[in-house]
Structure 1
């Protein structure tokens, strides 16, 4: 009977009394009293109630300002970079290019001297190698002798022509002399005929005058025939002279060929550049068409394979900054010389045939020739990697 009232007293306790916190909460609370009742702690103004950023900004205004400034600078840098990047087109698919020259033999012969070594710089006209020229020297002398003989034949024919002209002149004088004698004989014959008719001349005188006339006529005919024969001989001499001149031209052509062949025994540099990939050696036998070395001229340029989507604003004459992998600390300047009229695959050994089979569109690359504004004072060779940047705006 006594236990029940105690239970009712606990149940009817005032509702406004604070309930005791758990022991762990009592230890971790801000303040506690001896009667285990909670004491409220008043919040200060500088402590954020929800942990948001404004409280952090209020506590550290300078750091917040610095962070905001850095964010704005990064945004401005990104914007400036994106605007500036639109003005340029670049590619890493670019190389140094040049018209390399294949140095080969044009004649048969044994190599007697190799005047250069690998990668040696040489000037235009410098001797690269020599081939034994003894046989070609003999051929040239023989050709020169043929030219001399042909010229002698021409001189002989010309001398004969001069003599023949003299004979023609003599024959012409004989014709004139015979004509004068004939004219006189005609006059005598006519006079004797008239005298015979008058009876003042004898028959014998008249017959003698007629005989003289016939003899002078025959002498004139002979002189004319002789003159014609001499003139026809002149035509023969002129034909012989033309034949001798033709032989002279043939001999001179043989001489020129022999001299040209002789010059091919000495191989020189076509332009200034570097001799490389030398396979020739002293004592080896060279044959026509055999490659003896490669020659790289000093005149080089950049061949940049840009994507076709990069060519919209690209024009000849636009400035280019050229970065060469071999010289990372240097920047070279140039300009666009020309854009190839067609993609690289169109001129390849096996061009793509898109009309057959399945088609997959691939962005093509178009070679662009870039030349240096000033000759670079460094060594550059075909195939060296380059990164050109073209200013298109």
Structure 2
């Protein structure tokens, strides 16, 4: 082969090699082609998945919903046989009525005891008056006896009347004290009866809550996942019968730690969704995870053992999705996305959502 052709072949081979290296550098976003846009395909749509379970046990008598159905807050998802809980509520109400009747009877007893105290006080006053009269008669007879005007027999009768009147006063005072103690007993018992009424009211409230809990309703707007509850199925506390995915979703993009330099809350993010034909959406950075994803793993690696190989860690970045975009209602948790952040932009912290 002539030298001129060898030179051309060498140049062509070199050009092809250089072009291949440049293509690889461009594909991997490496210098001199590295720009200000940081991209990751380790990103997903996220949302809150609520597992719906009953708070009490029983047989399901109604399951009016189906898989993937849209529901609103308060819509019935399932209903447990409520016959037992209806009777428990009636029983609790009857107990409350009994307790309230006992309390009302205690009020009547209190009024009766107060009346007895008034009667006892009147008896004391009457006995005291009789005692005063007997005392006067006794003193007068005693004086007359000394002057030989009265006989010993009259004096003894006056003394006996005096002693009886004094005893009657003591008896009336004792009866007044007993009446006061009876009133104190009724007052103390009333506190116990009031506590019994409060306990009965609480039992009614608890029974009413149990009756309401036989109706399992949607806690918020959203779409149901798979409905596992079946008509006639016996469920217990905590049995999963359905799952609910609220309409609010966001994106979590797991960027490598070397890509985070320059990222700030409020910066605009664009992302495409694989399941929607790579439809593009806009969002903004809300916040960054407080640790790398590996720190939240159940089984953490121990870099202090064996040979060490440095692995670039990823930090989750939460991205809020701008509202009122086409096909935004099609975004569901778990969808894969490709997120892009232009680090050359200025962050708008005023629009960033903060806690």
TM range (shorter): 0.7 to 0.9
Secondary structure, counterpart of 2:41 in structure 1: coil
Structure-1 separation of matches of 2:228 and 2:154: 106
Bigger CA drift: 315-324 or 136-145?
315-324
Shift of 1:244: 2.2
Alignment of 1:197-276 (within 5 A): 197-276=146-225
Secondary structure, counterpart of 2:262 in structure 1: coil
Structure-2 separation of matches of 1:194 and 1:266: 94
Alignment: residue pair count: 315
Structure 2 residue aligned with 1:164: 113
Cα deviation 1:127-182 (Å, max 9, x = unaligned): 11111111111111111111111111111122111111111111111112212222
Structure-2 separation of matches of 1:147 and 1:382: 49
Secondary structure, counterpart of 1:278 in structure 2: coil
The 1:93/1:180 distance shift into structure 2, 3 A limit, reads same
Q: 1:357 aligns with which of 287, 306, 309?
A: 306
Shift of 1:254: 2.4
Cα deviation 1:13-42 (Å, max 9, x = unaligned): xxxxxxxxxxxxxxxxxxxxxxxxxxxxxx
The 1:219/1:153 distance shift into structure 2, 3 A limit, reads same
Over the aligned positions, Cα root-mean-square deviation in angstroms equals 2.4
Shift of 1:83: 10
Gaps of at least 5 residues in structure 1 are 1-77
Structure-1 separation of matches of 2:288 and 2:306: 30
Structure-2 separation of matches of 1:363 and 1:251: 63
The 1:345/1:336 distance shift into structure 2, 3 A limit, reads same
Structure 1 residue aligned with 2:335: 384
The alignment status of 1:338 with 2:287, answered yes or no, reads yes
Q: 1:110 aligns with which of 44, 47, 59?
A: 59
Cα deviation 1:59-94 (Å, max 9, x = unaligned): xxxxxxxxxxxxxxxxxxx9xxx9997433221111
- Larger relative contact order (C-alpha < 8 A, sep ≥ 6)? 2
Structure-2 separation of matches of 1:163 and 1:375: 75
Structure 2 residue aligned with 1:14: none
Structure-1 separation of matches of 2:33 and 2:135: 119
Q: TM-score, normalised by structure 1?
A: 0.74
Structure 1 residue aligned with 2:40: 91
The 1:83/1:266 distance shift into structure 2, 3 A limit, reads farther
Cα deviation 1:204-241 (Å, max 9, x = unaligned): 33333322221111111111111111111122222332
The alignment status of 1:182 with 2:135, answered yes or no, reads no
